[in-house]
Amino acid sequence: MPVNTEVQRAGQEQSTATPVLEINNLCTNFELPGSTVQAVRDVSFTLCPGQRLAVVGESGSGKSAMAMSLVGLIPPPGKVASGSVKLRGKELVGLGDKEISAIRGKDIGLVFQDPMAGLDPLKTIGSQFVETIRVHQNLSVRQAKELACELLAEVGVNDPRRRIEDYPHQYSGGMRQRVLIAMAIANDPAVVIADEPTTALDVTTQAQVLELLERICDERGNALMMITHNLGIVRQLCDSVNVMYAGRVVEQTSVNALFNEPTHPYTKALLDCMIDPYTTVRGQLPAIPGSPPDLAAAQPGCAFAERCPLGSAEKICHEQRPEAVVLASGAVSRCHFAHELEGAQS
Amino acid sequence: MLSTILRRVGISLATIFGASVFAFILLRVVPGDPARAIAGDMATEDAVAALRADMGLDQNLFVQYWRYMRAVFTGDLGFSYSTGGTVNSLLGDRLPATIELGVLAVIFAIGTAVLFASLAVYSNSRWADRLLRTASSLAMGSPPFWIALLALMVFAVQFGVFPGPEGRLSPGLVPPADITGLYSVDALLAGNIPLMFNALWHLVLPAAIISIGPFAFLSRLYRSQLRSTRRETFVMVARSHGLTKFPVFNRHIAPHGLLSILPAGSLLFADLLTGSLLVEKVFGWPGIGSMTADAIIQKDFAVVQAVLLLAAVLYVVVSLLADVILTTVDPRTRVGAR
């Protein structure tokens, strides 16, 4: 498997470090009556300590399904069909509820999209926080509360000793996301997965939450996996990128290379859709023509072929699935014309 | 806050007033002459007319209603011609029997609804869920008096595991000293354990049958609330923090379900406290329900009016209480919440 090892190394600045998370050939299916939706298809990548990986792609590209598969939180009828997820060498796929729960929140922390719905409205922030801490740490309620206050102060909640007795509805959206971030890092996880953590927030709050995430990763040195469809966030926060399309990682590259020399037509198309307020003409928002393929249908060729400016006319794109191509820059692209794309830019 | 309370009290009073008018008019427009019913077929017209004047039935409706309400406010619910006693003493006699039955039925209904709906949702088995829904559909659709007869045939006549329709105690047993009026509680207070078990033994079957309808309703409500809460983001978040399935269910899903059945459950409680007419009748239970059934047949105005008024007051008070409890339990509506 020469390709695989190179795939793992691709787009990573700390290529010499031992990966904390290692994902190989992960497939997740949703078994619906009459059809099987293949949400995640043969995804492989690694995450090293301190790495900040962005996972980008449009809605329905399998970003969240992939992230949830890593920690066994894929809701039924979804199921990890095959592949492996290794945390420091320990296989996570197929673990029982008890064993995977011991890892969730402790080794892998998660931050979700909608902070308004992320806290139990009937319980105080304090009781939920204490609960989160005491699942993994052998502390008394008092000690846990003390730790919770410290963490709340760290994420920018003023007067945490008083605020910890409040209920979620007494917090604003941005504040709730801060609380949820504090909870996610409460047990010092080696990996933080943030699934569009700012999508539900307004722009100023977004910026504050992103700064917070960045600061936390700086201070704690944990790996971050940032799921987003906002390329601005990618540029600001991350060092490497997985571009997903129709359940597959179509390009793995560094953030610099992503913006300077995309080597997959889909990545190019995504970049073209970035809105520049100075040049975009009113009424002419850029878009990728067509829509993503039906994930329940079999695809012999490249999933992007129908919409691809390069491949829609090419026979090979419709008939043969592109293998991962490792390019000189270290980027990995699943495109039959990856070398041509690379050549065109340099 | 004060205006909310005032509005609630105003609405409550209007409801009770409306119910009293409704009960009053309804009983006077239905055919039949209570004076004739009391005097009997053999009485002369003069005697019946005299009785009617004595009962105040010759006055117009407004005067009758005025007299009735004035009496109610002085604590006099009227005179029951069919039993020959005051309605007050009749209610005092019958109410404890119904309360004892109603409380047990509510405990049964909520207990079984919560237990089975929790099991069905927690197990996440399609089979268990289907079973629960089928059971609740059957329970909702079967008339309780028919079930009561069936249950008596099977459990009392055939197997003899529960007593027949003999009332609150086995024949020949002396009721315990009256403290609360609830025989099982009074027997316990008197230290008479065999008597307590006898009273409970007589309660189980009718209470279980009365609880069937409320069980069906509550289990559906609880099940659907559990299922929708289970899909909430905060449940996913709690799981992501490393809580296993049971603690999440126990601490973050079930409380939302219980909160949702509180209002409906308390109204059912009010309903059961005014007695189940037919089930009490079938079991020969000396409660409000069988008393009302008899009074309707006898056209005993005062009794039926009193029961309707009692029902209205109970509903209003209980729903008011449920609101207060709900706003206290739910932090989002708690008074003084910022």
Question: In this predicted model, what pLDDT tens digit does every residue of A9-46 receive, in sequence order?
Answer: 444 444 457 899 999 999 999 998 888 888 999 999 99
Interface check for B331 against chain A (CB to CB < 8 A): the answer is yes
Predicted confidence band of residue A118 (pLDDT cuts 50, 70, 90): very high
Buried/exposed code over A183-192 (b: 16+ C-beta within 10 A; e: otherwise):
bbbbbebbbb
Asked if B337 and A167 come within 8 Å (Cβ–Cβ), the reply is: yes
Residue A41: closest CA among A20, A19, A23: A23
Q: How confident is the model at residue B335 (pLDDT cuts 50, 70, 90)?
A: low
pLDDT tens sequence across A217-275: 989 889 999 999 888 889 989 999 999 998 899 999 999 888 888 888 898 888 888 87
Please check whether residue B242 touches A, CB under 8 A: yes
Contact between residue A24 and residue A87 where contact means Cβ atoms under 8 Å apart? no
Amino acid code (one letter) for A237 = L
Q: Please tell me the distance in Å from A90's CA to the nearest CA on chain B.
A: 17
- Most confidently modeled of A108-112, A195-199, B306-310? A108-112
Written as six digits, the tokens of B197 are 């078990």
Sheet with A21-32: list strands edge to edge: A35-47, A21-32, A78-87, A90-91
Residue B238 to residue B229: CA distance in whole angstroms: 13
Question: For B210-223, how does the pLDDT look when each residue is reduced to its tens digit (9 = 90+)?
Answer: 999 999 999 999 99
Contacts of B244 in chain A (CB under 8 A): 97-98, 101
- Tell me the nearest-neighbour CA distance from B238 into chain A, angstroms: 8
Confidence of residue A290 (pLDDT cuts 50, 70, 90): confident
> What residues in A contact B245, CB-CB < 8 Å?
97
For residue A71, give the chain B residue with the closest CA: B240
User: CB-based contact (8 Å) between B233 and chain A?
Assistant: yes
Q: Which residues of A touch B332 (CB under 8 A)?
A: 121, 167, 169
CA neighbor of B268 nearest in space, from B219, B220, B211: B211
**CB crowding A80-94: b at 16 or more within 10 Å, else e:** bbebebbbeeeebbe
**Facing B234 at nearest CB: one of A106, A119, A135:** A119
pLDDT of residue A345: 57
**A166–B338 C-beta distance less than 8 A:** yes
From chain B, pick out residues whose CB is under 8 angstroms from the CB of A185. none
Q: Give yes or no for a contact between A268 and A335, defined as CB atoms under 8 angstroms apart.
A: no
pLDDT category of residue B1 using cuts at 50, 70 and 90: low
State the pLDDT confidence band at B337, using cuts at 50, 70 and 90: very low
Rounded to an integer, the average pLDDT of A316-341 is 85
Query: Does the pLDDT of residue A84 top 70, yes or no?
Result: yes
Higher pLDDT, A288 or A70: A70
Task: Report chain A residues whose CB lies below 8 A from the CB of B259.
Answer: 122
| Rounded Cα distance, A294 and A127, in Å | 43
Q: Which residues of A touch B228 (CB under 8 A)?
A: none
B223-238: average pLDDT? 93
Q: What is the pLDDT of residue B218?
A: 93
B336 touches chain A (CB under 8 A): no
- Give the SS3 label for residue A308: coil
CA distance A236 to chain B (A): 26
Flag whether residue B338 sits within 8 Å of chain A, measured between CB atoms: yes
What's the mean pLDDT in B279-284?
88
Backbone angles phi, psi at A245, to 5 degrees: -145, 130
Q: Give the residue on A whose Cα is nearest the Cα of B241.
A: A105
B252 touching A (Cβ < 8 Å): yes
User: Which residue in A73, A122, A136 is closest to B240 by CB distance?
Assistant: A73
pLDDT band with cut points at 50, 70 and 90 for residue A344: low
Distances (CA, A) of A101 to A26, A256, B230, B243: 20, 36, 17, 6
Q: Which is higher by pLDDT, B98 or A12? A: B98
Which residue, among B241, B243, B260, would best test binding to A if mutated, counting the most A CBs under 10 Å from its CB?
Answer: B241
**Concatenated DSSP letters of A95-117:** --HHHHHHHBTTTEEEE-S-GGG
Q: Which of B109, B326, B291, B56 is nearest to B216 (CA)?
A: B109
CATH topology of domain A2-119+171-275+300-345: Rossmann fold (3.40.50)
User: 3-state class of A165 per DSSP?
Assistant: coil
Q: What is the DSSP string of A265-292?
A: HHHHHHHHT---TTTPPTT-----SS-P
- pLDDT band at residue A195, thresholds of 50, 70 and 90? very high
Task: Report the predicted TM-score, pTM, of the whole model to 2 decimal places.
Answer: 0.83
Quickly list DSSP for A206-219: HHHHHHHHHHHHHH
Residue partners of A224: CB distance under 8 A and separation at least 6? A51, A52, A53, A191, A192, A194, A213, A217, A237, A238
Tell me what pLDDT residue B119 has: 94
**Nearest-by-CA chain A residue for B337:** A170
> Which ipTM score applies to this complex?
0.86
What average pLDDT does the structure give for chain A?
86
pLDDT tens-digit readout, A91-109: 999 898 899 999 999 999 9
Are A324 and A336 in contact by the 8 Å Cβ rule? The answer is no
User: Which CATH code is given to the segment(s) B96-287?
Assistant: 1.10.3720.10
User: B233: distance to nearest CA of chain A, Å?
Assistant: 5
Which of B235, B237, B246, B325 should we substitute to test contact with A (largest number of A Cβ atoms within 10 Å)?
Answer: B237
